[in-house]
Chains A and B, each alone.
Chain A
């Protein structure tokens, strides 16, 4: 049975932002264009717009995060929303309350929008469908679910790429590292292929690459030098500490030797290639400090653009 993607309402509007998979190109472009307008706001002395005045935004982080939560908080505040941060991993979930009971309680506090991060793939879908089923007018933004998606990260990455490279249609882009466990990689793959990037590559050892990447329009490389050859954009992925030693990888040292981004490996990319990283970085594991702090890195621009992009998403969904 074919069902409508739950993030799009009956009128074709964006009701929730749950995944880039299934998000039309025009919708992605609208977010990027809106973000562009909001970027100017961040440069003013008075950084507030009244777009979401009186609205309540709840940051529901079932999994710890500082950066994403903070940028959502700043984005919501710049749109004049009231923001409530709930660190659920430390409260109700540990007391045995079910996810949907938590949601029902918070919805009863007249929330307008939930920004959700959860360790389980698909959790924001469950929450959004539950709220829709109850007829609650509450929006859900996925701020990272398991290994599935991190849509706002992909949107801010797309914004960054467009900012530096102007358009997508002639680009070669490599995603390097732990694709298997990365929600950022999945969202980026969907965003970049949707936006018309003709050459999206995944680079990593076979233990960190999920099967079937080709069916998502991605070329797979195990040799990083081959994978980086002539690329315009390198997106490095974070390697979680717990995955550095075990059956997936023997050691951080061996990983860095083969898949860490060093100036020597970066030289295989196009001379004007940009280097991105969703943060937080492991220097000396996936990226060399000489690259992270070098002229080609745009990692801090990503953070700045991230606020504008999240303002755009909040504005489009809830205003």
Chain B
């Protein structure tokens, strides 16, 4: 299929050293053939390409007022298959991804059973291929059944398609097992994804340990649960030199530790959940279980430090931490409610909200959900995907969004089966209009 996208602005995400061109993209047409970007209007640097003679597109999409970017890359989307189909299905969540402009997603291994055997990974990938949606990059379990005792057959799992190994948010209590797991992963050059939270210090905790926890009579998860775990993990990285990606940092002190580790030259990266850029513990209100997440929303000072970490490049990526929870599991007293919020469809608007509030250039903001996460996984080195890239000849995994479109987040406006969010009732800006995977417009908002 040959497609011309005309009248839109093409936005190339950049990290820090950026061209000082128009931050909101360059007014340009973009042309797709055979699943690849074959021409971008000649105003875009390095793209002085010409269309083939006699170019007649099958479709022309008018993107006036819209921005064209690479499809988003989400580092944490729970699709709930296998095992939790009553919460969400691959169909519903893959569709939610497309509606959110996400064309590549990493899913954690905390399914039921966990992704600790190659057969499970192959089945998941097979199911996903049948749905013709976003590219799926599963993380394999680091230990069998995520139990933190026996390491998995990582090499086999990698062959089956795992891009890294993770414990999701189940901590390994035994530091010796963690050391062995990192050594083994390092042997093969695999990346290990760890969510730093000391299981003993976090035991029984529900909300951020602070004045609000005391006031509400809810057991707290102290910041030291994150920093004690991070310190241990960083020591193990120092010894093993294994590549470790830290997931869902939640505290100022956690961001500071990773900043220092990067300065030291340790092979570490990190991400934060998009919700933690906005929400603080003070927003919980009168025990609103929509705010129950893991790790918990922390203080305003922590939130500001996370924003600063994004500003100076300490934090490499923002993810949706998409975790669909069924209504029954949320309609419980706060302490019994299941942690988790929906995220795939809110990733773009909440990143835009952060960018507006902090005056972060749009191209830089978009990098945190495209090139940034793609580089962590190494998607840029993988064939068959345009994840995070928008350049001549790249696979056309793209999306077109309207930065000014306002919409209200409510249960009926979400495609995901996860309908719980701290942002229910909020009006947000930024709506995905079209999502392309391999040159096919497989989602179009009507």
Contacts and interface: CB of A to CB of B under 8 A. Distances in A.
Contact of A126 (B210, B215, B333): B333
B425 A1 contact: yes
A209 to B, nearest CB: 9
A212 B211 contact: yes
Interface in A107-160: 118, 120-123, 125-126, 129-130, 145-149
A210 interface: yes
Contacts of A5: 286
Per DSSP, chain B at the interface is: loop
Interface in A155-169: none
Contact of B216 (A6, A118, A122): A122
Contacts of B218: 121-122, 146-148
Interface string B215-226: 111111000000
Interface in A11-49: 18, 21
Nearest to B332: A99
A121 B215 contact: no
Contact of B286 (A118, A120, A122): A122
Contact of B217 (A100, A147, A211, A213): A147
B214 A123 contact: no
A121 B335 contact: yes
Query: Which of B210, B286, B335 has the largest count of A CB atoms less than 10 A from its CB?
Result: B286
B377 interface: no
A95 interface: no
Contacts of B287: 121-122, 125-126
A21 to B, nearest CB: 7
B220 A121 contact: no
B328 A121 contact: no
Contacts of B216: 121-122, 148
B210 A212 contact: yes
A106 interface: no
Contacts of A99: 332-333
Nearest to B283: A1
Given A121-B287, A129-B286, A216 B215 contact: yes
Contacts of A216: 211, 214-215
A66 interface: no
Contacts of B328: 98
A100 B331 CA distance: 8
Interface centre among A21, A125, A129, A186 (most CB of B within 10 A): A125
B285 interface: yes
A36 B283 CA distance: 38
A123 B211 contact: no
A122 B214 contact: no
Given A99-B333, A120-B336, A148 B217 contact: yes
B213 interface: yes
Nearest to A181: B217
A149 B217 CA distance: 8
A183 interface: yes
B220 A211 contact: yes
Interface string B184-222: 000000000000000000000000011111111111100
Interface string B291-316: 00000000000000000000000000
In the A-B complex, list the 6 residue pairs whose CB atoms are closest, starting with the nearest: A212-B211, A122-B287, A148-B217, A147-B217, A120-B333, A210-B214
5 contacts: A121-B216, A121-B287, A210-B213, A211-B213, A213-B214
